[in-house]
């Protein structure tokens, strides 16, 4: 007969497990801070030391999952150190992947009598509404989008939750548990915090200016009235909590002097900026297409061509019209500098240049360029890539997949019976459903996938390094979960589904052919009854993933 485990020992195990979780959160907070600043030696040392502590704690307290992650993170940080502190795009991608795994890790307890799961690394969102049932429904809807949300029923539960763990955001009814009490509780929560919590206030009815002023003074960054809907709420939470992963600026350095180029490269790498150096300016266009930089640093005088000539060549291509070009040269004649800037340049820096001047100029120019490009290539309603750009990305990924001999899948999605939504509930509801699916796809797909709004209620997804079968399974899971989301409406809540067509890159296809094949597969999915994923093979076979057969493939 097996003797039951001592409860005090179990409590001790959970206490040790919380120590490991606390250390893991420290690493994630340091990494998030690095996303908003320059990568310095001090930051690198702090992250490395925090990771070593996690490794020691995980080994001491027998937490192998965290130990393995800490070991992999340590190897990546050693690679950065071996690269003399320079961050390559491959290293950034790998560290991002490990940090995402660390943020999602729940510590599984080994006790067979009680299978418990400790909370995930992601901080929860606390939802407190005067209508407790509505709060519970909203929290569940946020869970569908991949967030951790918790509804709290009263002041006591709120205080306990805040004492245990600060949230990533608070959604607070101004009249939670009493008139105006929500405002008081929110103001109280912010006291003594170095970094204020994102607060979103809610009122069922329109409120007066003094109430809104009190919300601002309590730290409220949004004030919502009327009906709370998960997808629009998530959109605001994403902005306030800055959940995007670290995406460093990319700079292409074109200079015939290898020594000067390497010097510039080292300065920028030390600030967390990814660089690629080109000694032969004639190769510039091919390098631009492959690297897709945020900014170009260009030498004025090179044997093969001048910097101004190359700038003109670059500007001839519509794709690079908005990419900033900074001339970096020893030329100190102001008239020549101004002439060069009139030939496609955006700035002129004179050698020798102070490191801080160079880094600040590059970061500011690159930040503005990204903002401008986002407005040019993204859909205004959803924030996804627009029709033209998603097809351009498909073409780029096609070339890359062929060169690297890797799979590539492309999907077309369409919301089922969308016209009925507009006709029955109005265009604002239709826009809400479109935005909801856009957010859902961003939450559920990888950061390396590209999502676009193809037009109207139609979406397109480029999935690099993904074969057809894997893409089908992922999209079918998304299809099933999206169908569970409901939208408050009269006389009954609204549910929506989507159909999808999929194709994989093959030897005799190109980007235009893939788009046509995915579109054809989408229409077949519609004809087969909607709410399903259909994959078209170039061998003229196809497979359907439907609500009734999502665990199996039917070959037609």
The whole-number average pLDDT for the span 488-492 is: 77
Q: CATH number of the domain at 387-555, out of 3.30.70.270, 3.10.20.30, 3.20.20.70, 3.30.2310.20?
A: 3.30.70.270
| pLDDT tens sequence across 336-352 | 778 777 777 788 888 88
Q: Which residue has the higher pLDDT, 309 or 541?
A: 309
Query: 3-class DSSP state for residue 34?
Result: helix
CB of 398 within 8 A of CB of 514?
yes
CB of 366 within 8 A of CB of 251?
yes
CB of 196 within 8 A of CB of 216?
no
Contacts of 108 (CB under 8 A, 6+ apart): 65, 115, 117
Least confident of 68-72, 333-337, 472-476: 333-337
Query: 3-class DSSP state for residue 487?
Result: strand
Of the chain, the percentage scoring pLDDT greater than 70 comes to 83
Q: If pLDDT is split at 50, 70 and 90, which confidence band does 251 have? A: very high
DSSP secondary structure string for all residues of 498-524: EEEEEEE--TT--HHHHHHHHHHHHHH
Q: 65 burial class (0-12, 13-18, 19+ CB within 10 angstroms)?
A: middle
Q: Which of 363, 362, 339 is nearest to 349 (CA)?
A: 362
218 cis-preceded (ω within 30 degrees of 0): no
Q: What is the 3 state secondary structure string of 403-441?
A: HHCCCEEEEEEEECCHHHHHHHHCHHHHHHHHHHHHHHH
pLDDT at 70 over 50: yes
Given the structure tokens 């608070």, which residue do they identify? 170
Q: Which of 446, 461, 553 is nearest to 146 (CA)?
A: 446
C-alpha–C-alpha distance, residues 191 and 54, integer Å: 30
Distance separating the N- and C-terminal Cα atoms of the chain: 56
pLDDT at 548 over 60: no
Q: 236 burial class (0-12, 13-18, 19+ CB within 10 angstroms)?
A: middle
The two tokens of residue 117 are: 């799961």
Least confident of 33-37, 369-373, 411-415, 442-446: 33-37
pLDDT at 272 over 90: no
| pLDDT tens sequence across 148-168 | 888 999 999 999 888 888 888
Looking at residue 551, its pLDDT comes to: 40
Q: If pLDDT is split at 50, 70 and 90, which confidence band does 122 have? A: low
Given the structure tokens 């007066």, which residue do they identify? 208
Q: Which of 136, 124, 132, 137 is nearest to 155 (CA)?
A: 132
The two tokens of residue 2 are: 């097996």
C-alpha–C-alpha distance, residues 534 and 520, integer Å: 10
What distances in angstroms separate CA 493 from CA 131, 134, 163, 188, 468, one per listed residue? 17, 13, 36, 36, 35
- Pairing label, strands 408-415, 347-350: unpaired
CB of 465 within 8 A of CB of 407?
yes
Buried b (16+ CB within 10 A) or exposed e, 183-221: bebbbebbeeeeeebbbbbbbbeebeeebbebbeebbbb
Beta strands in 83-232 (DSSP E): 125-128, 149-151, 169-173, 199-203, 220-225
Composition of the chain by helix, strand, coil, percent to 5: 50, 15, 35
**What is the radius of gyration, based on Cα positions, of the chain?**
27
Q: If pLDDT is split at 50, 70 and 90, which confidence band does 105 have? A: low
- Domain 125-241: CATH architecture, name and number where available: 3-Layer(aba) Sandwich (3.40)
Query: 3-class DSSP state for residue 451?
Result: strand
Looking at residue 553, its pLDDT comes to: 36
Which secondary-structure segment (H or E) carries 347? strand 347-350
> For residue 397, which phi and psi values (nearest 5 degrees)?
-70, -30
C-alpha–C-alpha distance, residues 446 and 462, integer Å: 11
C-alpha–C-alpha distance, residues 222 and 385, integer Å: 26
Number of residues in the chain: 556
| pLDDT tens sequence across 378-422 | 887 888 899 999 998 999 899 888 888 999 999 999 999 999 888
Q: If pLDDT is split at 50, 70 and 90, which confidence band does 450 have? A: very high
In the CATH scheme, what is the homologous superfamily, with its name and number, of domain 250-377? Answer: Response regulator (3.40.50.2300)
pLDDT at 265 over 60: yes
Contacts of 340 (CB under 8 A, 6+ apart): 300, 307, 308, 311, 327, 331, 348
The whole-number average pLDDT for the span 268-297 is: 86
C-alpha–C-alpha distance, residues 236 and 222, integer Å: 8
Q: Which residue has the higher pLDDT, 105 or 488?
A: 488
Q: Residue 458's beta-bridge partner residues?
A: 414, 455
Q: Average model confidence (pLDDT) for the chain? A: 80
Q: Which residue has the higher pLDDT, 502 or 205?
A: 502
C-alpha–C-alpha distance, residues 356 and 50, integer Å: 28
Contacts of 436 (CB under 8 A, 6+ apart): 229, 230, 231, 485, 487, 496
What distances in angstroms separate CA 55 from CA 317, 342, 425, one per listed residue? 50, 55, 54
């Amino acid at each position: 007969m097996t003797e039951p485990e001592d409860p005090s020992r179990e409590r001790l195990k959970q206490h040790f497990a919380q120590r490991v979780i606390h250390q893991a959160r420290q690493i994630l907070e340091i990494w998030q801070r690095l996303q908003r600043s320059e990568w310095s030696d001090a930051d690198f040392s702090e992250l490395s030391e925090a990771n070593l502590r996690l490794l020691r704690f995980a080994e001491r307290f027998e937490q192998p999952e965290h130990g393995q992650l800490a070991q992999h993170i340590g190897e990546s940080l050693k690679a950065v150190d071996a690269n003399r502190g320079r961050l390559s795009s491959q290293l950034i991608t790998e560290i991002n992947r490990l940090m995402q795994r660390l943020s999602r890790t729940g510590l599984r307890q080994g006790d067979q009598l009680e299978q418990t799961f400790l909370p995930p690394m992601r901080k929860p969102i606390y939802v407190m509404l005067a209508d407790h049932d509505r709060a519970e429904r909203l929290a569940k809807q946020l869970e569908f989008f991949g967030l951790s949300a918790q509804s709290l029923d009263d002041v006591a539960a709120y205080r306990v939750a805040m004492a245990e763990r600060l949230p990533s955001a608070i959604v607070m009814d101004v009249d939670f548990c009493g008139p105006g009490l929500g405002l008081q509780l929110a103001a109280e929560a912010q006291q003594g915090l170095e970094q204020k919590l994102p607060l979103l206030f809610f009122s069922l009815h329109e409120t007066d200016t003094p109430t809104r002023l009190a919300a601002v003074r309590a730290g409220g960054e949004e004030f919502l009235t009327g009906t709370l809907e998960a997808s629009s709420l998530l959109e605001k939470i994403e902005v306030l909590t800055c959940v995007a992963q670290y995406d460093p600026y990319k700079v292409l350095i074109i200079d015939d002097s290898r020594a000067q180029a390497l010097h510039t490269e080292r300065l920028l790498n030390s600030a967390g900026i990814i660089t690629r150096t080109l000694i032969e300016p004639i190769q510039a266009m091919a390098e631009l297409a492959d690297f897709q930089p945020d900014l170009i640093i260009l030498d004025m005088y090179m044997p093969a061509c001048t910097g101004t000539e190359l700038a003109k060549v670059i500007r001839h291509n519509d794709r690079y019209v908005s990419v900033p070009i900074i001339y970096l040269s020893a030329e100190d004649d102001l008239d020549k500098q101004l002439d060069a800037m009139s030939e496609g340049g955006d700035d002129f820096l004179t050698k020798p240049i102070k490191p801080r001047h160079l880094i600040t100029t590059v970061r500011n120019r690159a930040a503005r360029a990204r903002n401008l490009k986002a407005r040019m290539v993204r859909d205004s309603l959803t924030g996804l890539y627009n029709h033209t750009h998603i097809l351009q990305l498909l073409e780029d990924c096609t070339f890359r997949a062929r060169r690297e001999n890797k799979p590539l899948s492309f999907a077309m999605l369409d919301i089922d019976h969308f016209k009925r939504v507009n006709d029955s509930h109005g265009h604002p509801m239709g826009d809400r459903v479109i935005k909801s699916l856009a957010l859902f796809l961003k939450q559920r797909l990888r950061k390396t996938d590209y999502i676009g709004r193809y037009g109207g209620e139609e979406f397109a997804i480029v999935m690099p390094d993904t074969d057809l079968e894997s893409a089908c399974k992922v999209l079918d899971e998304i299809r099933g979960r999206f169908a569970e989301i409901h939208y408050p409406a009269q006389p009954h809540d609204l549910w929506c589904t989507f159909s999808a067509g999929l194709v994989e890159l093959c030897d005799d296809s190109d980007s235009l052919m893939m788009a046509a094949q995915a579109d054809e597969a989408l229409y077949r999915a519609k004809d087969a009854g909607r709410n399903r994923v259909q994959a078209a093979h170039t061998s003229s076979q196809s497979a359907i993933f439907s609500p009734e057969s999502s665990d199996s493939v039917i070959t037609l």
